Amino acid sequence: MIAFNSFIILLAAFLVVFMQSAVNGVLGTQIDLLPALMVYTSLTAGPVMIAALALCSGLWFDSLSANPLGISVLPLLAIGFIILIRRELILRDQSYAQFVIGSTASLGAPLVTLGLLLTSGREPIVGWGTVWQLALMTIIGGAATPVFAKLFGFITHTFDYRTVSSTSFRSDREIRRGRN
């Protein structure tokens, strides 16, 4: 079932990147849903899955963009890692907690990417309009995180094996009746 979950998350990342490059942006902004997906993954999966998602989705994103190849991997990995080491303290089942973490990640990922681009000597299109783009990405990314959680929860529930209910019967406490 872990393999199935991993497949579903990677498939979702693939489709998210495709949608971002096939559809025109909202109000002058291309919405990046990968940080939201990474938040969901880091709240529910292990480090190997986080690493796989960061690598695959970051490379897919960069391959369709003019970004230097691999630059989107690092912010996604950082988000996944930070949440992973603190996730026992997070109310991961609560929608508002998911929203807050998703918003923070959706703001942090593009900021880190921009920082990496600027420090590597690139000249991205940045201006006052970028503030608006970041704000929109933060809100939509935050809203997308609980949606991802609900969606993947539904898919997992649908395809997962039914949980076997445990009984109170214990064989070592069985009272043996008979002549012996």
In the complex, least distance from residue 58 CB atom to other proteins, rounded to whole angstroms: 7
In the complex, least distance from residue 5 CB atom to other proteins, rounded to whole angstroms: 16
**Binding of other proteins by 129 (CB under 8 A):** yes
**Binding of other proteins by 106 (CB under 8 A):** no
List b or e across 6-32, with b for residues whose CB sees 16 or more CB atoms inside 10 angstroms.
Answer: beebbebbeebbeebeeeeeeeebebb
CA distance linking residue 144 with residue 99, whole number of Å: 8
Taking CB under 8 A as the rule, which mask of x and - marks residues 63-82 in contact with other proteins? xxxxxxxxx-xx--x--xx-
**Binding of other proteins by 51 (CB under 8 A):** yes
Work out the angle at residue 165's Cα, subtended by the Cα atoms of residues 175 and 150, and round it to the nearest 5 degrees: 165
Residues 109/32, Cβ–Cβ less than 8 Å: yes
Burial label, 119 (beta-carbon count in 10 A; 0-12, 13-18, 19+)? exposed
Q: What is the dihedral of CA 86, 56, 9, 94, to 10 degrees?
A: 30
CA distance linking residue 9 with residue 70, whole number of Å: 20
In the complex, least distance from residue 173 CB atom to other proteins, rounded to whole angstroms: 38
**Binding of other proteins by 29 (CB under 8 A):** yes
**Binding of other proteins by 25 (CB under 8 A):** yes
Residues 76/109, Cβ–Cβ less than 8 Å: yes
Among the listed ranges 5-13, 116-124, 145-153, 165-173, the one in contact with other proteins (CB under 8 A) is 116-124
Residue placing its CB nearer to other proteins in the complex, 67 or 95: 67
Residues that bind other proteins (CB under 8 A): 14, 17-18, 20-22, 24-25, 28-30, 32, 46-48, 50-52, 54-55, 58-71, 73-74, 77, 80-81, 85, 110, 113-114, 117, 120, 123-130, 132-133, 137
